[in-house]
Amino acid sequence: MRTIWWEQGQVKMIDQRKLPLEFEIASFDDYRRVAWAIKEMVIRGAPAIGAAGAYGMVLAAYQSQAETRAALIRDLEEAKVALDAARPTAVNLSWGTRRILDTAREVETEDLDLLREILLDEAEALAEEDIEINRRMGQNGLAVIPDNANVLHHCNTGSLATVEYGTALGVIRAAHEAGKNIHVWVDETRPRLQGARLTAWELMQEEIPMHLIADNAAGYLMWSGKVDVVLFGADRVAANGDVANKIGTYKLAVVARENGIPVYAVVPTSTIDLSLPSGEHIPIEERGWEEVAKFGGCQIAPDDVPVFNPAFDITPHKYLTGIITEEGIVYPPFDVNLRRVKERAEHRIAERRKERIRAREKKLKGR
């Protein structure tokens, strides 16, 4: 199931606010509206908003009235600021917008129509790479899923959180496809209920055995011996292995450690941010009153009740058994091994970019 794509000059995406009761496709032809869609969680999930950021930059290029390459790049720089501000915790967003801006700076042509085509090609390449990366993570993660395992999963990390297939849910999907006979405990994931609304829906579409649970039931299940492994995604991973993920992840990891249950974050290397030494430096997005004080459109708290609503928390690396990436499973020492896989992935991506640059140069000569 594809979450986001480009079609006839517009960015199309599944409106995740409407699921599971309604399935609607939202369309955008203005990068500012894409920024709005990211902020309002029409689209969500670190890899998915990375792709949305890239496509938003392409829309900005097509919207631009610039008559020179330099002016177009200035317009793209402005668009990048607006898109990056939509959700500050997930590093994939700024990673995706930067990739398009870097491409615009690299291609030396005053043929702006051609430059726009090249930027679209780069965004499409980013989206296709995400699908490939997710499938590789799924296969790598098979090693940590025993046959007949009960897997505890937090938030949503499936196709809806990526371009297609999924990160942590991709590992679950791969295990199901491999015939491992798994069962999934699905945290509801308050306050926005991504587990109840999205993960449960995806697993039921795939006919993967599961039960939806209240978030507070997870500890009891672990204590009862009914959880074999805990899986979740991440919105940013610091250089030392500290993980920022959906609020509630930290307490799951702590309780899992207390009960001797392995814990894995499943992340593409684009989510690893080596510029931040630890989780203390990761910006944590705070969201609005209504997400906590209302439920299904009904107010459940007193008027004007003070609300603190951090969208993410930090799980210190000491609570992680490992981090599953497209380059393999990373084990401690994370500060050494995360850098190694990040550099390997960046080298692979750079080589592919060189191939595309050579193809673009041929295209330029043909004009």
Q: Which residues of the chain have pLDDT under 50?
A: none
Residue span of the structural domain in which 63 resides: 4-135
Looking at residue 247, what is its pLDDT? 98
Residue 361's pLDDT is what?
67
Q: What is the pLDDT of residue 355?
A: 81
158 and 305 assigned to the same domain: yes
Same domain for 183 and 120: no
274 and 328 inside one domain? yes
Residues 125 and 147 in one domain: no
Together in a domain, 190 and 300: yes
Together in a domain, 320 and 208: yes
- 109 with 206, same domain: the answer is no
| 299/335 same-domain check | yes
Q: Is residue 317 part of a domain?
A: yes
Based on the fold, state whether residues 273 and 148 are members of the same structural domain.
yes
* pLDDT tens string 131-172: 999 999 999 999 999 999 999 999 999 999 999 999 999 999
pLDDT of residue 363: 65
Please, what is the end-to-end C-alpha distance for the chain in angstroms?
37
**Domain annotation covers residue 350:** no
The total domain count for the chain is 2
pTM: 0.93
Task: Look at residue 19 and tell me if it is in a domain.
Answer: yes
Q: What is the pLDDT of residue 144?
A: 98
Residue 30's CATH number? 1.20.120.420
Contact of 188 with 155, CB cutoff 8 Å? no
**pLDDT of 106:** 87
> β-strand 263-266 against 229-232: which pairing, if any?
parallel
Q: Which pLDDT score, from 0 to 100, does residue 31 have?
A: 98
Domain boundary among 88, 119, 135: 135
For residues 322 and 330, the answer to whether their CB atoms sit within 8 Å is: yes
Give the strand pairing for 229-232 and 150-153. Answer: parallel
Residues 86 and 168 placed together within one structural domain of the fold: no
83 located within any domain? yes
- Look at residue 361 and tell me if it is in a domain: no
CB-neighbour burial class of residue 347 (10 A; exposed 0-12, middle 13-18, buried 19+): exposed
Active site residues per annotation: 235
pLDDT (0 to 100) of residue 354: 77
129 in any annotated domain: yes
Please indicate, yes or no, whether residues 45 and 143 belong to a single structural domain of this protein: no
Q: Specify if 278 maps to a domain.
A: yes
Residues 122 and 229 in one domain: no
> Is residue 236, in this structure, part of any structural domain at all?
yes
